[in-house]
Amino acid sequence: MSVQAPSPVGLRVETDVALITVDNPPVNVLSRAVRADLLAALRSTLADASVRAVVICCAGRTFIAGADVTEFGKTPEPPHLPEVTQVIEESSKPVVAALHGTALGGGFEIALASHYRIASRDAKVGLPEVKLGLMPGAGGTQRLPRLVGVAEALQWITTGNPVDATRALEQGAIDEIADGDLVQAALSSAHRLIEAGRPPRRTGQLHVPPADNAVFVEIESATRKKQRGLLAPQYCIDAVRAACTLSLAEGLKRERELFLELRASPQAAALRHAFLGEREVAKVPGLASDIAARAVKQVAVIGAGTMGGGIAMCFANAGFPVRLLEVDAQALERGLGFVRNNYAATAARGGLSQAEMDKRLSLISPTLSYADLAEVDLIVEAVFEDLDVKRKVFEQIDAVARPGAILATNTSYLDVSAIAEFTRRPQDVVGMHFFSPANVMRLLENVRANKTAPDVLVTVMKIGKAIGKVAVLVGDSDGFVGNRMLAQRNREAYFLLEEGATPRQVDKVLTDFGFAMGPFAVGDLAGLDIGWRNRKARAHLRKPGARDCNLLDKVCAMGRFGQKTGAGWYRYEKGSRVPIPDPAIEQLIIEHARQAGIAWRAIDDEEILQRCLYSMINEGAKILTERVAARPVDVDIVWLHGYGFPAWRGGPMFHADQLGLANVHAAILRFSDRFGPDFWTPAPLLAELASAKKGFYPSAVTAPAIIC
């Protein structure tokens, strides 16, 4: 005999007010069961002659926080949310929405359809659908402008940012803030509405305040700059424009048409993938769920340079006491100055109070002695990227660290397993590859060495979440996942220069694709001397006889290290970060190609994009074969959060599926015929999947020929 699951929606009547309570933990998402039971409860109260008003509230820590992500990508089952919101708005009895926590997406649309909205003071409301490549589809774009005006509604809907209760009250999105018991306050509001004897105030019957077309022009311009390449903001704007020109019924119809069209778009699929993938990477295959993490209460960071200081800030921001160690007093003071200046800049922008800034600074304790690290639980090394330097550091750490302390290296390329052998406790050594600037970038590549203990892996994944990072567990390989793929893209970018492209052309192709910056502008920003130093250190890894481009060596030999010297691949006016194409670089490239015997030719943008992207995708397939990454989603999340891959394309492996692996494979074979097999031999996994008409993801459908 099957046992029926309890309803996620409760209903009780207090005197003449029906109290409908959604209880679908943890965040009361609008699953099919919630929609169905909420609709049934509403219809029950409407049919009950003893009920004169309705209050909709939620149990737990929040009001309805949006859609059920487990239903993303599936065919929605009725009842659909517009049916629920329409029943609420058309109710002959006043409906009061009691909001606490976060009333977002469909939850806020339920509130907008209600006749009265009361919120706790700490509540936040919003329509964040745009961040998933979607738009409100249950009346949000039609009702919000009627309450807050067109300009304000456009701002809320196109950014997707939550709005606190105080501002929502000021703008008219809610009617009241309750400082005491929210449910009792909502019941009192319902009784006042009953006593007043007025009919329900239906949002849809309000007039949209007049708005000049300039409002739409301004928001369209802003979204093109800040949300470049995204479809959803424009769809949102079109829907709000419909609210200004159509009746409610026609506007709702237009909104739904736009919503369904957008929901079926590749961008929405990619952004859903990015959203869900961020959660998926936290679940590490092969790590038993019952492995207990080690306790981490105190942290140490070795190296007070830009990276070390940023890492120290990451931990201090999360409330961890941090020992920041340098062997030189002047270097230590410079590092502390870097930290203080970063915090001061954040405080000046209003992102941090003086008290919070002082608290975080107080958590960072400088030291010049390794002995001061004897009792900490996690030590993160962030020194110069040289194996001999790291050997000396880890030998000293090993001599003082307590048993069970986790010893982490922030190396970008070096062999973590080799570093572990510099200690007598390789099981406690792990890679924690932060990205610069560490206090800003969200990605953390946690690197499993050959002997890393499972509880160490569990701990660093947990720590990553605690300090606000998107932590991805990867294997120990040259460059791990992100830098290993980046090296392939950079190689092709250099080769393209030799063959006839310019730095500006290559960069523009990549920014048109969706990256914030192209590889040459990024190099200038980071400092070309860093890449040059790394190139020299890795010279022994080059395949004998394989093509190599030494243009970077020649640029750096001229003293052009990027923005910090006023010239790199581009030149920069004093005090400016705007890259300006430099004829001197083009002449250098022409002369270099002549000396190398490479004839310049016109290179079209499609070739540039394919060579830069497909080299990465092919390397990603090798990474998956070698189990350096456990799943395609791990590769995608690394690139989305560490390297600026456009989220609306889903990551390199997801994008490859959208293109069709057969198309990618065929292009790689063509490049192999043209340029040789050294760098263009298809990865076996890619060839296998392409032959089978499959994708990296099981649900992938191979596409017809698509221009990237």
Vertex 307 angle, CA 323 and 439, to 5° = 85
Residues 449 and 341 in one domain: yes
Residues 512 and 366 in one domain: no
Residues 469 and 506 in one domain: no
Arithmetic mean of pLDDT, 387-416: 96
Nearest to 138 by CA among 298, 4, 258: 258
* pLDDT of 533 strictly over 90: no
Residues 437 and 552 in one domain: no
Look at residue 703 in the predicted model and tell me its pLDDT: 34
* pLDDT of 214 strictly over 80: yes
Number of domains in the chain: 3
Look at residue 3 in the predicted model and tell me its pLDDT: 53
> Which residue is it, tokens 């030799």?
498
Average pLDDT taken over every residue of the chain = 94
Residues 470 and 515 in one domain: no
Q: Which of 89, 109, 255, 607 is catalytic?
A: 109
Cα separation, 531 vs 533, in Å, equals 5
Q: Is residue 487 domain-resident?
A: no
Q: Which two tokens stand for residue 597?
A: 């015997």
Residue with the bigger pLDDT between 226 and 472: it is 472
Cα separation, 30 vs 69, in Å, equals 9
Cis amide bond preceding 437, omega within 30: yes
CA atoms within 13 A on the CB side of 68: 18
If DSSP codes are grouped into helix, strand and coil, which group holds residue 66?
coil
Dump strand ranges (E) for 165-298.
Answer: 176-178
Look at residue 536 in the predicted model and tell me its pLDDT: 83
CATH code, domain carrying 452: 3.40.50.720
Cα separation, 520 vs 677, in Å, equals 26
Give residue 373's identity as a one-letter amino acid code. Answer: L
Arithmetic mean of pLDDT, 655-677: 97
End residue of a domain, out of 213, 240, 264: 264
The pLDDT confidence band at residue 74, using thresholds 50, 70 and 90, is: confident
End residue of a domain, out of 264, 287, 315: 264
Look at residue 4 in the predicted model and tell me its pLDDT: 63
Q: Is residue 667 domain-resident?
A: no
At 22-68, the pLDDT tens digits run 999 999 999 999 999 999 999 999 999 999 999 999 999 999 998 88
Neighbours of 6 (CB within 10 A): 8
Cα separation, 479 vs 486, in Å, equals 9
Arithmetic mean of pLDDT, 398-424: 96
Q: Is residue 677 domain-resident?
A: no
Residues 30 and 154 in one domain: yes
Give residue 691's identity as a one-letter amino acid code. Answer: S
The pLDDT confidence band at residue 539, using thresholds 50, 70 and 90, is: confident
Q: What separation in angstroms does the CA of 524 have from each of 538, 560, 641?
A: 20, 9, 21
Catalytic status, residue 129: yes
Residues 190 and 65 in one domain: yes
Q: For the chain, how many helices (H) and strands (E)?
A: 28, 19
Residues 187 and 45 in one domain: yes
Q: Which residues lie closer than 8 Å to 49 by C-beta, 6 or more apart?
A: none
Catalytic status, residue 586: no
Q: What percent of the chain has pLDDT over 90?
A: 89
* pLDDT of 351 strictly over 80: yes
Query: Would you mind telling me the total number of residues written for the chain in this entry?
Result: 708
CATH code, domain carrying 576: 1.10.1040.50
Cα separation, 621 vs 629, in Å, equals 10
* pLDDT of 303 strictly over 60: yes
At 563-606, the pLDDT tens digits run 999 999 999 999 899 999 999 999 999 999 999 999 999 999 99
Find the domain containing 310 and state its range.
Answer: 299-476
CA atoms within 13 A on the CB side of 369: 4
Q: Which of 129, 255, 326, 499 is catalytic?
A: 129
Nearest to 537 by CA among 449, 669, 411, 398: 411
Note whether 84 and 39 are within 8 A (CB).
yes
Cα separation, 384 vs 380, in Å, equals 13
Residues 130 and 229 in one domain: yes
The pLDDT confidence band at residue 401, using thresholds 50, 70 and 90, is: very high
Look at residue 68 in the predicted model and tell me its pLDDT: 84
CATH code, domain carrying 167: 3.90.226.10
Give residue 451's identity as a one-letter amino acid code. Answer: K
The pLDDT confidence band at residue 708, using thresholds 50, 70 and 90, is: very low
Look at residue 1 in the predicted model and tell me its pLDDT: 41
Q: What percent of the chain has pLDDT over 70?
A: 98
DSSP tag of 593: H
Look at residue 531 in the predicted model and tell me its pLDDT: 86
At 436-492, the pLDDT tens digits run 899 999 999 999 999 999 999 999 999 999 999 999 999 999 999 999 999 999 999
Q: Which residues lie closer than 8 Å to 392 by C-beta, 6 or more apart?
A: none
Alpha helices in 467-572 (DSSP H): 482-499, 503-513, 519-526, 528-537, 551-557
CA 60 to chain centre: 27
Cα separation, 138 vs 111, in Å, equals 11
Residue with the bigger pLDDT between 539 and 339: it is 339
CA atoms within 13 A on the CB side of 599: 1
Look at residue 131 in the predicted model and tell me its pLDDT: 93
Q: Is residue 424 domain-resident?
A: yes
Look at residue 638 in the predicted model and tell me its pLDDT: 98
At 181-198, the pLDDT tens digits run 999 999 999 999 999 988
For residues 341, 343, 349, 350, the Cα torsion angle rounded to the nearest 10 degrees is -150
Note whether 477 and 626 are within 8 A (CB).
yes
Q: Is residue 316 domain-resident?
A: yes
Vertex 371 angle, CA 365 and 376, to 5° = 60
Q: Is residue 615 domain-resident?
A: no
Look at residue 289 in the predicted model and tell me its pLDDT: 87
Cα separation, 464 vs 474, in Å, equals 14
Look at residue 705 in the predicted model and tell me its pLDDT: 30
End residue of a domain, out of 600, 624, 640: 600
Arithmetic mean of pLDDT, 224-233: 92
At 149-185, the pLDDT tens digits run 999 999 999 999 999 999 999 999 999 999 999 999 9
* β-pair partners for 299: 322, 378
Residues 448 and 555 in one domain: no
Q: Which residues lie closer than 8 Å to 638 by C-beta, 6 or more apart?
A: 443, 445, 472, 474, 481, 482, 629
The pLDDT confidence band at residue 426, using thresholds 50, 70 and 90, is: very high
Look at residue 702 in the predicted model and tell me its pLDDT: 37
* pLDDT of 698 strictly over 60: yes
Dump strand ranges (E) for 252-329.
Answer: 299-302, 322-325
Q: Is residue 138 domain-resident?
A: yes
Nearest to 197 by CA among 93, 88, 48: 93
Residues 403 and 513 in one domain: no
Give residue 508's identity as a one-letter amino acid code. Answer: K
Cα separation, 166 vs 544, in Å, equals 66
Q: φ and ψ at 605, to 5 degrees?
A: -65, -35
Q: Is residue 122 domain-resident?
A: yes
Look at residue 670 in the predicted model and tell me its pLDDT: 98
Residues 67 and 184 in one domain: yes
* pLDDT of 335 strictly over 60: yes
